[in-house]
């Protein structure tokens, strides 16, 4: 969540920062597992003055980014914007929950990480989720037993997280999700998930007593 808050800050501050190269290698964890965004070598400051001359300097020509994480419009020389970083965030979110990189050999032709997730929702969400997500729930359980322990509410929360990742990584920059809305929705999902997990444990505890 700290990664999310940090990202929102850099794109919504008085002079927004366009990172241009958000990817796993640029997300660092400290001893408390707090995420920090690093490597601002390609970053650009976005003026809110609206001056055409300045905006022309923000062309993505020459901005390479990283294949799989860079917004598709940058490959066509489109103007840089915070929407490009929103795309990268969406891909990162999908990667975290599927355990698959956007450059995996599986993805070729018309199949990419975005479409891979989209085709699986909502009915096959458990088939694409990374096993480490289940390990967070119970490290001693195998995946099958973890599936059976998940409630419909928790599964729905997982689908919602994937849908946010998809909404951030759509092809059209203007259609991508607003990061303030992303923060509110993820906090809501987290709260519901933890409440459901705690509630289920209380029920199980009362049954065994």
Domain ranges for the chain:
2-208
CA distance 164 to 158: 10
> Is the bond preceding 152 in cis, omega lying within 30 degrees of 0?
no
Which H or E run includes 36?
strand 35-37
SS3 at position 79 = strand
Percent of the chain topping pLDDT 70: 67
Spatial contact of 102 and 92, defined as CB atoms under 8 Å apart: no
pLDDT at 177: 95
Q: For Cα atoms 176, 45, 83, give the angle at the middle one, nearest 5 degrees.
A: 5
Q: Determine whether 38 is exposed, middle or buried from the number of CB atoms within 10 Å of its CB (0-12, 13-18, 19+).
A: exposed
pLDDT at 45: 65
Q: Report DSSP state, residue 129.
A: S
pLDDT digits (tens, 9 = 90+) for 26-54: 888 888 877 788 887 777 766 555 443 34
Q: Return the beta strands (E) in the chain as ranges.
A: 17-18, 27-29, 35-37, 44-45
Which H or E run includes 35?
strand 35-37
Q: Report DSSP state, residue 25.
A: G
pLDDT digits (tens, 9 = 90+) for 129-158: 998 876 655 543 444 445 556 678 888 999
The overall average pLDDT reported for the chain is: 79
pLDDT at 120: 97
Q: What is the mean pLDDT of residues 100-112?
A: 94
Tell me which residues are annotated as active site.
21
Q: Which residue has the tokens 């355990």?
A: 99
CA distance 83 to 64: 16
pLDDT at 118: 98
pLDDT at 60: 53
Q: Domain 2-208 - what CATH class? A: mainly alpha
pLDDT at 38: 84
pLDDT at 33: 74
pLDDT digits (tens, 9 = 90+) for 47-100: 555 443 344 455 555 566 899 999 999 888 888 888 999 999 999 999 999 999
Spatial contact of 131 and 143, defined as CB atoms under 8 Å apart: yes
pLDDT digits (tens, 9 = 90+) for 15-25: 778 888 899 99
pLDDT at 193: 77
Q: What is the mean pLDDT of residues 194-199?
A: 62
């Amino acid at each position: 969540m700290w990664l999310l808050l940090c990202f929102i800050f850099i794109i919504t501050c008085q002079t927004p920062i366009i990172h241009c190269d958000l990817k796993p290698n640029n997300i660092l964890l400290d001893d408390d597992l707090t995420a920090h965004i690093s490597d601002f070598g390609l970053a650009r400051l976005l003026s809110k003055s609206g001056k055409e001359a300045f905006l022309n300097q923000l062309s993505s020509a020459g901005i390479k980014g990283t294949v799989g994480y860079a917004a598709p419009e940058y490959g066509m020389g489109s103007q840089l914007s915070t929407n490009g970083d929103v795309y990268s965030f969406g891909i990162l979110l999908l990667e975290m929950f599927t355990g698959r990189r956007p450059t995996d050999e599986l993805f070729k032709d018309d199949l990419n990480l975005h479409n891979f997730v989209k085709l699986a929702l909502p009915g096959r969400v458990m088939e694409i989720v990374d096993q480490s997500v289940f390990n967070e729930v119970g490290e001693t359980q195998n995946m099958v037993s973890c599936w059976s322990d998940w409630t419909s509410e928790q599964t729905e929360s997982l689908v919602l997280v994937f849908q946010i990742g998809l909404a951030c990584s759509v092809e059209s920059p203007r259609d991508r999700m607003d990061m303030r809305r992303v923060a509110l929705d993820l906090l809501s999902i987290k709260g519901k998930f933890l409440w459901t997990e705690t509630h289920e444990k209380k029920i199980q505890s009362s049954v065994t007593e």
